[in-house]
Amino acid sequence: MKYQKTFIAGLVGTFLILLCCATPILVILLGAIGVGTITGYLDYILFPVLAVFLGLTIYAYSKLEKSNK
């Protein structure tokens, strides 16, 4: 059961990071609150976080599949 929660957290995190990477939502929000100058550095943060969430999703999925067998 705990791997199911980890899998869902990984999926949600991956979706949110992909949403921020693929659409200008984060750029618009940062510009609206006045810190738009850091948008050039978002790739240095978002891509490693995306890799972490993808890894978490794959890990939880593999553990979930092993526990279901």
d(CA 10, CA 43): 20
Task: Give the SS3 label for residue 22.
Answer: helix
d(CA 33, CA 39): 12
Q: Locate 3 and state its tokens.
A: 């791997």
Whether pLDDT at 12 is above 90: yes
Q: Which of 35, 39, 2 is nearest to 20 (CA)?
A: 39
Confidence of residue 58 (pLDDT cuts 50, 70, 90): very high
Q: Which residue's entry shows tokens 């921020």? A: 20
pTM, to two decimals: 0.80
